[in-house]
A and B are shown apart, each in its own frame.
Chain A
Amino acid sequence: MPKAPPPSADGPARAERRPTTLLAELTHRCPLHCPYCSNPIDLIRAERELSTDDWKRVFTEARALGVLQLGLSGGEPLVRKDLEALATHAHGLGLYQTLVTSALGLTRQRAEALRATGLEHVQISLQDADDANAERIAGVSSVRQKKAAAGYVRELGFAFTVNVVLHRQNLDRIGALIDLAAEMGADRLELANTQYYGWGLRNRDWLMPTRAQLDAAQPVVEAAMRAHKGRMQILYVLPDYHQAFPKPCYGGWGNFYIVLAPDGRALPCHGATELDFLTLDSVREHSLQWIWEASPAFNAFRGDAWMAEPCRSCERKALDFGGCRCQAYALTGDARNGDPVCTKVPHRPLIDAALAAADGTDFRYRGFADARDAAALP
């Protein structure tokens, strides 16, 4: 199953590049404090969030640009009281919607109201199959509420995905996680190893799985894929640090994706706020069309003219676009470098050193800057 629409011969020509997916981070407020959160370290506060009318206008502009998929995400999108109004508007535009939620706050009443909007797909995160460890990872009690919410999602007929971010602290229970997702009635299960930006990079030593853990998980996942075929699709994403070549991040910079931060800044990917040299334009000041077509940020790493060697003359550049710009910047200090995950890139020793250094002993919860300063240790 392709994660993003593939750039096939059947797809749009380069000259008519259009976005397919808008991920709307409606808020950064969240009851969970997962130490690998994909939100930036510098979280946006409620008073800086876009208004209901702003979001509606942006969704309308997104559809006109060609966006087909809308992710209603966060933080926890259920924190927004206008979520149903936004979903109703988006459904009227013909957008296929996914609610990306922790399920905290997903009461039966809320689920029924969302079903009535026409929203198609609900994705619920699980932190672990073990209750106590799930609560240790999320920093809050959540497993019972997630199971109840999964029941509403199934009964109401949503398409249902369970998403698990995998790491050193839960990878040993991957079999139990798969069983739990099946028990909850998921149509799809995404098992994705942590990516190391922002919070994940800060907590990398605690999160990085060992080679032995990955070797043990592989046959479990493969057996489950066979056992659940036709009932529950299982996607398994390995940690890129343990790979020889980088991931084709978002199908290439500015090719398919737009992420909108709660304050209206448009990002080519989740991690782009870490690229502090980029000016991230906002839908408060610009049309989404201008941002997509003309803004410096969305054009910064399109094509291959920006590439350094060995990427520029590498035949793999058509497959992985030089990998992840945010990872190159975070680890090498220059976003034009090849992704250091790549074994052809001279910075690869940085990755190997990180793998060797990871000891799994210390972490810091995600949170607003002044709210949660102390690292919690079991």
Chain B
Amino acid sequence: MTGGDEAGARVPRLWRLAKLAHDDVRQRPVLLYPEGAVLLNDTGRAILDLVDGTRTIDAIAAILAARYGADVRADVIDYLDLLERQELLSYAQGPSAVG
């Protein structure tokens, strides 16, 4: 398991300039931003579709766990942390009031 309670309490938000899209040539979801693009897999897309600037990581993981019947919290944290290191995503600490 990656991260303690506080890791799951963070609220991810996509970079203002990043845009989720679907590439129908490669038949892959893709994250587009100035001067760059990241090809995603369907799992990545499923996570990012739930990143809305209000949900916590734990809330996102709970929705995905219910959908897939598996504990995906560690994978979600790893994935979002990777995007954060690339500055494609940032975190606000703590659960949102409107979450």
Contacts and interface: CB of A to CB of B under 8 A. Distances in A.
A2 B23 CA distance: 19
Given A64-B25, A65-B25, A66-B26, A5 B17 contact: no
A12 B34 contact: no
Nearest to A123: B34
Interface in B70-99: 86-87, 90
Contact of B36 (A5, A10, A187): A5
B47 interface: no
Which residue, A3, A10, A66, has most C-beta atoms of chain B within 10 A?
A10
B39 A12 contact: yes
Given A3-B35, A63-B25, A230-B90, A120 B41 contact: no
B46 interface: no
Nearest to A16: B26
Contacts, number: 65
A11 interface: yes
Contacts of B30: 68
Nearest to A187: B17
A347 B24 CA distance: 45
Interface residues of A, number: 28
B32 A96 contact: yes
B26 A159 contact: no
Nearest to B25: A66
B26 A187 contact: no
A10 B40 CA distance: 7
Given A66-B26, A159-B17, 17 more contacts: A1-B36, A2-B36, A5-B37, A5-B39, A10-B38, A64-B25, A68-B23, A96-B32, A96-B37, A98-B34, A120-B34, A121-B34, A187-B17, A187-B34, A188-B17, A188-B34, A230-B90
Interface of B: 16-17, 19, 21, 23-26, 30, 32-41, 86-87, 90
12 contacts: A2-B86, A3-B35, A4-B36, A5-B38, A10-B39, A12-B39, A18-B25, A63-B25, A64-B25, A123-B34, A159-B33, A187-B34
Interface of A: 1-5, 10-12, 18, 20, 63-66, 68-69, 94, 96, 98, 120-121, 123, 159, 161, 187-188, 230, 233
